[in-house]
Structure 1
């Protein structure tokens, strides 16, 4: 008898939770609108960036477009200033942030994240041929660049001995151009973006050995939008299971970086 009562109580609790999730209206609102509006920094290669003709491409773009196709809705991309992207999400300027966003305790106070879909980390990049800097410890007393509002800032602050100066830039592209011009000694950037930039300009940059931090990428939703988050997560889980995420990953990175078993 007790066992039956426990089973009934669990069933009631699960039903209540499902009802509460469905009752937040976020998924229904997106379905009625026929579109999911996603905020991003459209200079963040290879996650989401513009080709010369203005076309938006990247890993996150391909993955989100596939999610939209499976959910039967259109994906609308909303470029935004990265330093204020969380505020813009909570101000309802878009429905989620899907742009290689690192899951951090500070951000988790303001938004709700999906499960990690890529494991990344911060690295230090220098110009090719720089003989004075051989490792992270050589960055002490040097001028280091980072993207404003990104985890690179805290990663740069954690380097010992400390950098002489940390300069913040609107985009990683601007920071790397200043590095190439000799105005910086190094740029701290997430591995995926940094290595993609290095591949685009061969012979210009090189990464110092090792990671400064290890970080997971997640999709950010407003905390109340539980039904929307659940549906997007279910769709991504299916894409991982059927190999679609791996296929998209190999297109952009040459290997499957979405498989949790490899993290």
Structure 2
């Protein structure tokens, strides 16, 4: 009797595991039936996604995702979130994906699935235009550098040829730029796209040191189990690259096409 019960329990456990492994991935059907894709973002990350004066969202990622939604016949709902907990919030199902200039790293790829890169970016150093003592990465020794919490900028700092005196972390880049303006920071490490955007909207304030600390691809992140949803979104992004839509959006925000893998 004990052997029979043990066998039954074993079989129940076995089939439970098998059914879990072969569970149907309805991630796209779930989004399609709702008619809505909820996307997590840091809404203070220009030029990828940020608030205009009237409170509406704009930016490269905003326009690209909205175009995908239009082509799929679904609405895009944006869910602002703290960037340092964005992956946790994804698995808490506060949104369906993260589409906000997220750098693809080995560590993150263990937690989420990414689309193929849609932009090749990199980490750069921004200083005040009138800063005379910092001309290269080697001049950052003993300085105070600002980075955004949870961003890849912190890891980039570790790859500098010299190390700063202190690294200060901020909730978002705009707050860090305020401290750079006030002299509380000597420099900032940010995405190239962000650095160039701030220079374009505030001419005469900043400059970027020569060279990249790192080169970093951006991808859209999904929960590991949501493979079907990723597949559908990837197909639309591919179509937008092929028909020139991504290039058009890129030129609007960056002045050039940085979405074409052939140019990376």
TM-score, with length taken from structure 2: 0.91
Correspondence 1:240-255 to 2 at 5 A: 240-255=241-256
Distance 1:43 1:61 in 2: 12
Query: Which residue is equivalent to 2:8?
Result: none
Query: Which residue is equivalent to 1:62?
Result: 63
Distance 1:184 1:37 in 2: 36
Query: Which residue is equivalent to 1:164?
Result: 165
Query: Which residue is equivalent to 1:106?
Result: 107
Structure 2 residue ranges without an equivalent (≥5): 1-20
For this pair of structures, how many residues does the alignment match? Answer: 244
SS at match of 1:65: helix
Distance 1:190 1:245 in 2: 19
Deviation at 1:22, TM superposition (A): 9.9
Query: Which residue is equivalent to 1:221?
Result: 222
Distance 1:158 1:214 in 2: 12
Distance 1:56 1:23 in 2: 35
Structure 1 residue ranges without an equivalent (≥5): 1-19
- Provide Cα deviations, 1:162-206, integer angstroms capped at 9, x if missing partner: 100000000111111101100011000010011101111111110
- Kept in 2, the 8 Å contact 1:140–1:159? The answer is no
- Work out whether 1:82 is the aligned partner of 2:70: no
Distance 1:56 1:98 in 2: 13
Correspondence 1:119-130 to 2 at 5 A: 119-130=120-131
Name the larger-Rg structure: 2
Deviation at 1:254, TM superposition (A): 1.0
Structure 1 residues 179 and 21, CA gap change in structure 2 (3 angstroms): farther
Deviation at 1:156, TM superposition (A): 1.2
Query: Which residue is equivalent to 2:205?
Result: 204
Deviation at 1:160, TM superposition (A): 2.4
The root-mean-square deviation of aligned C-alpha atoms, in Å, is 1.2
Structure 1 residues 216 and 126, CA gap change in structure 2 (3 angstroms): same
- Provide Cα deviations, 1:52-101, integer angstroms capped at 9, x if missing partner: 00010000000000000111100000000000000000111100000000
After the TM superposition, which segments of 4 or more aligned residues of structure 1 sit over 2 Å from their partners? 20-23
Query: Which residue is equivalent to 2:233?
Result: 232
Distance 1:111 1:254 in 2: 31
Structure 1 residues 21 and 97, CA gap change in structure 2 (3 angstroms): farther
Distance 1:77 1:55 in 2: 11
Farther-moved stretch of structure 1 (182-191 vs 150-159): 150-159
